[in-house]
Amino acid sequence: MEVRIPLEVTAAGLAARRRSMDQIAEMIKITREMPQLIDDMQAYTDYDFQFHILIAEAAGNTTLLHLISSIRESIKDLIRLGLEIQNSGKEKERIQKFHETIVSAIAEGDREASEREMTAHLTEALNALEQ
């Protein structure tokens, strides 16, 4: 997670400045489909990872996208472990809310909010993993 946080926070901030409307539409689509998959760990993990890759793609920085993609299996493992630890309905709703607020901030072009929300999301995940 220590490596992932700065990469994904940077991606979220850049995505807020560089995203296309098609990329926003895809982020919204995935985010809206995720709640129906929350009890299917494999499907949710795949969607969650795709959500983070879409943000990296929207950042418009191929090196950043490559770095995030290169730790794909580690990210998926962390998502799965996070879902195992944060398994109450309330915790799952909180995870979903983070995704929604990140997309909203990116869609609004708000770099600071995008970075803040991604930081909060990943920091909360890190805290759960460290317990």
58-90 pLDDT tens trace: 999 999 999 999 988 888 888 888 888 877 778
End-to-end CA distance of the chain: 14
**Domain span at residue 14?**
4-130
Give exposure, 37-67, as e/b (b: 16+ Cβ within 10 Å).
bbeeeeebbebbbebbbbbbbbbbbeebbeb
Domain count across the chain: 1
Give per-residue pLDDT as tens, 104-130.
Answer: 999 999 999 999 999 999 998 888 888
Give per-residue pLDDT as tens, 1-60.
Answer: 788 899 999 999 999 999 999 999 999 999 999 999 988 888 989 999 999 999 999 999
Amino acid at 117: E
**DSSP label at residue 37:** G
**Count of positions (residues) in the chain:** 131
Q: What is the 3-state secondary structure (H, E, C) of 72-124?
A: HHHHHHHHHHHHHHCCCHHHHHHHHHHHHHHHHHHHCCCHHHHHHHHHHHHHH
Residue 63: CATH number of its domain? 1.20.120.530
Instruction: Round to whole Å and give the CA distance between 72 and 91.
Output: 23
